[in-house]
Amino acid sequence: MIEEKLEGRYRKNIQLGDAVEVVQKHHQRSGELTEGIVARILTKSLNHPHGIKVQLKSGEVGRVKWVLQ
């Protein structure tokens, strides 16, 4: 099965409960991705060039790179 991914720069692509890959602040240089489930959407604007900021159910905060479908 091919996994489809939506870009994390647009708020319309992200819903509460979605599985996402985020980059946490301390991983910005390496680009290391953390996978999790969206608990809260923290960015108010409709889009952000570095990704919409979310809080995962694990409590981690990061900017969404990909929304997993």
CATH of the domain at 40: 2.30.30
Could you list the residue range(s) of the whole structural domain that residue 26 is in?
Answer: 5-68
Q: Are 13 and 23 in contact (CB under 8 A)?
A: no
- Overall pTM surpassing 0.85 (yes/no): yes
Number of domains in the chain: 1
pLDDT digit string, tens, across residues 5-33? 899 999 999 999 999 999 999 999 999 99
